[in-house]
A and B are shown apart, each in its own frame.
Chain A
Amino acid sequence: MAKITREQMVHVAQLARLHLDDAAVELYTKQLGDILTYMDTLNRLDTKGVPPTSHAIFINNAFRDDEVKPSIPVAQALANAPESEDGSFVVPKVIG
Chain B
Amino acid sequence: MDLYGLTIHAAHELLKRGEISAVALTAAVFERIEEVEEKVSAYLTLARDRAMAEAEAADALIGQGELGPLTGIPLAIKDILCTEGTRTTCGSKILEDFIPPYDSTVVKKLRSAHAVVVGKTNLDEFGMGSSTEHSAFASTHNPWDLTRIPGGSSGGSAAAVAADECIGAIGSDTGGSIRQPASHCGVVGLKPTYGRVSRFGLVAFASSLDQVGPITKDVTDCALLMNEIAGYDAMDSTSVPRPVPDFTKALESGLHGLVAGIPKEYYVEGLDGEVSQALDDAIKLIGELGATCREVSLPHTPYAVATYYLVAPAEASSNLARYDGVRYGLRDATSANLMEMYRNTRSRGFGPEVQRRIIIGTYALSAGYYEAYYGKASQVRTLVMEDFKQAFQTCDVLLAPVAPTPAFKLGEKLDDPLSMYLSDIFTLPPSLAGVPGLSVPCGFSREGLPIGLQILGKHFDEEKLIRVGYNFEQATDYHKRRPEL
Contacts and interface: CB of A to CB of B under 8 A. Distances in A.
Interface of A: 4, 8-9, 12-13, 15-20, 24, 28, 31-32, 34-36, 38-39, 41-43, 45, 47, 50-57, 59, 62, 64, 72, 76-77, 79-83, 89, 91-94, 96
A18 B327 contact: no
A61 B382 CA distance: 21
B383 A47 contact: yes
Interface string B321-363: 1001111111101011111111110110010000110111011
B426 interface: no
A57 B98 CA distance: 32
Given A42-B303, A79-B101, A91-B341, A16 B362 contact: yes
Contact of A38 (B240, B317, B356, B418): B418
B293 interface: no
Contacts of A76: 101
B265 to A, nearest CB: 14
A9 B324 CA distance: 20
B34 to A, nearest CB: 31
B433 interface: yes
B45 interface: no
Interface in B414-443: 417-418, 421, 432-435
A54 to B, nearest CB: 6
Given A19-B347, A89-B326, 11 more contacts: A18-B343, A32-B359, A35-B417, A38-B418, A41-B306, A47-B383, A50-B379, A52-B375, A56-B459, A72-B102, A80-B101
Contact of B327 (A16, A42, A81): A81
B343 A19 contact: yes
Q: Indicate the member of B238, B340, B350 with the most A CB atoms within 10 Å.
A: B238
Interface of B: 97-99, 101-102, 193-195, 208, 234, 237-238, 240, 300, 302-303, 305-307, 309-310, 317, 321, 324-331, 333, 335-344, 346-347, 350, 355-356, 358-360, 362-363, 366, 373, 375-383, 385, 417-418, 421, 432-435, 459
A91 B418 contact: no
A39 B338 CA distance: 35
B333 to A, nearest CB: 8
A53 to B, nearest CB: 4
Contact of B359 (A18, A94, A96): A18
A59 B99 contact: no
Contacts of A43: 376
A12 B362 CA distance: 7
A92 B355 contact: no
Contacts of B363: 4, 8, 12, 32, 36
Nearest to A8: B363
B379 A52 contact: yes
A11 to B, nearest CB: 8
A88 B237 CA distance: 29
B44 to A, nearest CB: 17
Nearest to B339: A17
Contacts of B350: 18
A81 B326 contact: yes
A47 B303 CA distance: 12
12 contacts: A16-B346, A16-B358, A17-B343, A35-B309, A39-B310, A45-B300, A45-B383, A50-B380, A57-B194, A57-B240, A59-B195, A82-B325
